[in-house]
Structure 1
Amino acid sequence: MKNQFGKYTRERVSNIPFDATDDFYKEYKEKIAQFVGQAVYIYSFEKNRMLFANGWEDMLGYKDEEITLLKIVSSTSKRHSNFSNELNDKSLQYLKDIKEDLNKYSFTIEVEKIHKNGEIIPIFSRVGVYKSMDGTILELIGISEKIHSRKLGNIMQYAAFGPETSGFEETLNEQLFNQLAISRKEKEALELAAKGYAFKEIADKLNVSQSAIEKRMIPLYKRFDVKSLPHLISFAHDNYIL
């Protein structure tokens, strides 16, 4: 199985499942909330393996004791794999330079996964820092659930969360500019534009400057190769963004 992460994370992702006899698994089995319809994992960079997993047989067809982070990464559909891998890689590269409040950072992505039986499964996933020490990420937590309400298009949707002044999502937007993707803040502005609001009105509603809205909206024209706002809105509908 090929490791599909980017250069920064390639050596940090293993095909090793959790060990049900160790204390980590026993602790997290008691500690981690487990909900019907969700799959969760905790992965240790320190030990280079899963520490805990639950719900993956219903999600992707793999028993919890055989699921690995490499299996989860490698199960991404072909059309979504490039962006998914870039988002994982750029996010962890950004976080390696953060020394405080690492547990406040996370990112989300809507992505197609391939079930063990070959079926395409649309999934909403959130990945965050679960444990850190002295500015180093020790463990990640990932939580996924199936998307039942709509289809996923070719345009990837993602968001990044951190302390208000972190600029986490803005940094990812810049680094992922050439990818066919749209961030939470870009989509938020586009949704209001689709309702007929002008940029200044959108800025007022979102409590930001008009130039901030322009910086979110104008790059979408080039990214999606559209010539006008009506064309952009039509494109967004055709690709299940709106």
Structure 2
Amino acid sequence: MSEKKNFGDYSRNFITNIPADLESEQAKYFRQTIPKFPDEAIYIYSFKENRMIFAHGWEEVVGYKDDEINMLAIVNMSAPEFAPFSHDLNDKALQFIHGKTKNLESYSFTIELKKIHKNGVHVPMIVRVGVFSSDNGRIESIIGRFQINRSLIFGKVMRYAAYGPEKEKFEEELNKILFYHLAISNKEKEALSLVARGYSFKEIAHELNVSHSAIEKRIIPLYKRFNVKSLTHLVSFAYDNNILP
């Protein structure tokens, strides 16, 4: 597997280490109107102001107070084995969404990873990042939700998913850069789970209401990515690396 360097170069051009002013009217409004679940931390980052404009729940989740957490710190607190993949995912997702002008608030992505708590402990999380607001076809701010999930079982394969009006194209663009990593998307995992149950590609296509070629595009690239030689080997690899339950 080839190595890549300079992770996160694109997204780093847009983020700072400036925390939110939680006494602002804007932050107080978000605190009252945005629901937060237990074991969850939320941020809203403004590209217009180049700073965090809201943070809630961070001390409970990773030990940092809401008025000290900032975007650069969040990016840098990924556990080392997850950081390159996370940075590349952030980069490519932001690049893709920056190229869109309509329905921006419908775009988001998720990733399963570990963040490093202030006390050094690794915290398993499902992270969802999406567009929070836009103006005249341009992203104004993004929202991130970091949910602790202690039931996650990690192998060496990273797991992610893409959402939005152009979901297929969004995931396709992510896959181009994430191919350098041992990673699998939600759609690839969905198709692979049916392979493991004995479905043929034709049957999977019918089950998921997509074309036969669409299933081939989800499954065949996994051979090279995971260095396997057959479907049986691929399914075995998936179970061995906790991709499939």
TM over 0.5: yes
2:134 aligns with 132
**Aligned partners of 1:156 and 1:182 also within 8 Å:** yes
Deviation, 1:168, is 1.2
Distance 1:233 1:5 in 2: 30
Runs (4 or more) in structure 1 with deviation over 3 Å come to none
1:17 aligns with 19
Q: Secondary structure at the match of 1:19?
A: coil
What whole-Å deviation, never above 9, does each CA across 1:59-92 have from its counterpart, x for those lacking one?
1111111111111111101111111000000011
Give the alignment of 1:169-208 within 5 angstroms.
169-208=171-210
Give the alignment of 1:90-105 within 5 angstroms.
90-105=92-107
What whole-Å deviation, never above 9, does each CA across 1:140-197 have from its counterpart, x for those lacking one?
0001111222311221111111115762112212332222110111000001111111
Match of 1:62 among 47, 60, 64: 64
| Structure 1 pair 178–228 and aligned structure 2 pair: CA distance change class (3 A) | same
| Structure 1 pair 183–97 and aligned structure 2 pair: CA distance change class (3 A) | same
Q: Secondary structure at the match of 2:126?
A: strand
Q: Say whether residues 1:150 and 2:152 are aligned partners.
A: yes
**Aligned partners of 1:158 and 1:182 also within 8 Å:** yes
Q: Which moved more, 1:14-23 or 1:101-110?
A: 14-23
Q: Which runs of 5+ in 1 are unaligned?
A: none
Q: Say whether residues 1:116 and 2:135 are aligned partners.
A: no
Distance 1:130 1:150 in 2: 27
Q: Say whether residues 1:49 and 2:20 are aligned partners.
A: no
Distance 1:203 1:178 in 2: 27
Identity of aligned pairs, percent? 54
Distance 1:33 1:201 in 2: 41
Q: Secondary structure at the match of 2:9?
A: coil
Distance 1:159 1:220 in 2: 16
Q: Secondary structure at the match of 1:58?
A: helix
> Normalising by structure 1, what TM-score?
0.94
**Aligned partners of 1:5 and 1:73 also within 8 Å:** no
Q: Say whether residues 1:33 and 2:15 are aligned partners.
A: no
> Normalising by structure 2, what TM-score?
0.93
Distance 2:106 2:124 in 1: 26
Distance 1:155 1:76 in 2: 15
Counterpart code for 1:145 = Q
Q: Which moved more, 1:136-145 or 1:229-238?
A: 229-238
